[in-house]
Structure 1
């Protein structure tokens, strides 16, 4: 509403703000046109960009905190197989389809493919909780796979951003980054078991009212370390959340970080909306029609790729594989992170950017009713739990 698709009050990618609103602000604030222009062309975009960058780090830290690795281990093999297929299939189908069917350049196709890999843990968990199937076998597999999806997806995102920054697709460099990212995440998982509890214990021993700064320092240090080794800092923020996710401080940290997330993550999502030019959705403009077709293609790939993954939950038990795949559909806030970072790097043309956002919206809103359809609600929640 306030960005390039609406009032033109906040213009983050250059351009003039709405003249009528500018004049109204001049009257209300008793300012000159030059003063209003100076504020809305320099400080406002700068502050929003800085807050957005911090906001995405906070968001990934929170996702890491809420990723319970123990749940992944309970149904590890089934979750891993679902996650791997659920990441690989949409990524490959999306990338190849955009490249060969729509002739999209390599970098935008890579970003769009990466955005298709995500799964929103929060949305899936909430819907399954409402349905009473969160503790069922299917629920546990979905949660485990969603956790692993986020890890794999963020690793892919880090690699794609590095490729964008270098301006070339270097296979050796990409493989090196994948190995570094894998080592980084494996280290975070190991530290979750040993360093995390020890770190929390040492901070609690300090009995200082400012001991909470220790967690913030870990967040900053790992974000910085990720950047030093050639990865995206958000991967370090996610790793910091993973390390602290299994500790006694988890609940307190989630409660505290959610306050920051309300402010800074909201600014991040506002910045995505403000930069999103919905005029590319106007079908009367010939150049826009391809963007709408691409959005439809991404939505189909997003749904088919994740639903297909549910049938790779290898087990002799009778489980609802369609339900597992459906539970993996919503992209939610994680998909918006991918879209936002792709837009920020300048790798995404407007049509692809909006197509990804539409895919995120569609999968997020379609998932709850689809989950209600595929899970047998004639069974009581207790029966579903006992079937585990």
Structure 2
């Protein structure tokens, strides 16, 4: 069947099912994953290579847009000191629980390390709507949660870059190997910093003066693709380079004109990113998922409890009370975008098999479903407790 028709069907179905998901109160990513599952059921002769290409572009623009739109270095500097302790705490616990999972089920060291990294990121976007609806986003736990999510992604991307490079050795590398990995990462970052500081601003200045239509927008897209390519050249992953590229041009005013931003978002969220999530759904083996049994349950329990416990302990350490700490822990439980990129990379590199892939995708889905409701319950409980205390004092 024509690849054009299959792409057309996927774009149509991700929008329809994404809208249906939003209307029943869950993030659109749920509908987009379901669209991919339906696609795999309905079509027999699938143009997998074409769909995979669009999905790869989707993963690149998912992380590029995260760096381009969500990371603001000035705001990050002011909020990072407060958010650093709870961020490190929840990452350490999630990382440890992921590694423990691998040990329990006799994974190799590399597989265990990958599970630890896959457990680490947080998708704060899943609970943003709940925070806004309950007027809690501007509260101290809400603002720290937002800052923590940004730091979380940055740390998670770094951990992923290390594990991806380890995977090329198929074992833990020697000291010389580790130094080589670190050298490549540092050289890549140095080149990107020089480009972002000195070359990119000048190019954007020239682009704005050009008469050709949409030159600045085209240049933003080219930076995303170039950053991804350069990362692969240094044997990192393309998505890591895209994330760094997005952060760098987020500091260039000409690259962040409102008109340009809306076009980048239109390309990313209108087409490419939903196709990536659909490809995740298409990649799930329903038969394998039905036979994961105990393993899937342990994945869900350890992944969610690691974030909850780590977030609770870390936020208590910076002075939050019991309820605020519980709210923070619940708020950092959900997974979505970066986690699914990590999973796809792990499967493509042969680090994880289909059973592990399907079980962790199921964990992502469960976290998306339960986190908003759990957060709403936690916030309402805190407010009721405060009201009861005020009444008793009077």
Question: TM > 0.5 between the two?
Answer: yes
1:301 shift after superposition? 1.8
Partner of 2:272: 264
| Root-mean-square deviation (Å) | 3.1
Partner of 1:160: 163
C-alpha deviations, 1:237-258, integer Å up to 9, x for none?
Answer: 0111112334444344442222
In the alignment, structure 1 segments of 5+ residues that lack a partner are: 11-16, 18-39, 283-287, 381-388
C-alpha deviations, 1:7-38, integer Å up to 9, x for none?
Answer: 6555xxxxxx4xxxxxxxxxxxxxxxxxxxxx
SS at match of 2:172: coil
CA distance in 1, matches of 2:263, 2:107: 42
Partner of 2:223: 218
CA distance in 2, matches of 1:357, 1:274: 11
1:183/1:104 Cα in 2 relative to 1: closer, same or farther (>3 Å)? same
C-alpha deviations, 1:153-182, integer Å up to 9, x for none?
Answer: 112222222222332221533465356547
C-alpha deviations, 1:33-59, integer Å up to 9, x for none?
Answer: xxxxxxx37xx1121121111111011
Partner of 1:281: 289
Task: Select which of 45, 49, 55 maps to 2:52.
Answer: 49
1:207 shift after superposition? 5.8
In the alignment, structure 2 segments of 5+ residues that lack a partner are: 1-33, 387-394
**Is 1:79 aligned to residue 83 of structure 2?**
yes
1:138/1:180 Cα in 2 relative to 1: closer, same or farther (>3 Å)? farther
TM-score, normalization: structure 2? Answer: 0.76
1:321/1:8 Cα in 2 relative to 1: closer, same or farther (>3 Å)? closer
C-alpha deviations, 1:92-128, integer Å up to 9, x for none?
Answer: 22113322x1112333333322211111132233332
Equivalence map 1:34-183=2 (5 Å):
40=45, 44-65=47-68, 66-99=70-103, 101-172=104-175, 173-174=177-178, 176-177=180-181, 180-181=184-185
Task: Select which of 355, 359, 365 maps to 2:359.
Answer: 355
CA distance in 2, matches of 1:124, 1:3: 23
1:129 shift after superposition? 1.9
Task: Select which of 372, 376, 379 maps to 1:372.
Answer: 376
TM-score, normalization: structure 1? Answer: 0.77
User: How many residues matched?
Assistant: 342
SS at match of 2:216: coil
C-alpha deviations, 1:305-359, integer Å up to 9, x for none?
Answer: 2122322134346581221121111111222222222222232222211111011
1:191 shift after superposition? 8.1
CA distance in 2, matches of 1:137, 1:242: 25
Contact 1:94 1:113 in 2 (8 A): yes
- With 297-306 and 324-333 compared, the bigger mean Cα shift is at 297-306
Specify which structure has the higher proportion of helix: 2
Contact 1:110 1:160 in 2 (8 A): yes
1:231 shift after superposition? 1.3
1:346/1:74 Cα in 2 relative to 1: closer, same or farther (>3 Å)? same
1:7/1:145 Cα in 2 relative to 1: closer, same or farther (>3 Å)? closer
CA distance in 2, matches of 1:207, 1:321: 54
Contact 1:108 1:352 in 2 (8 A): no
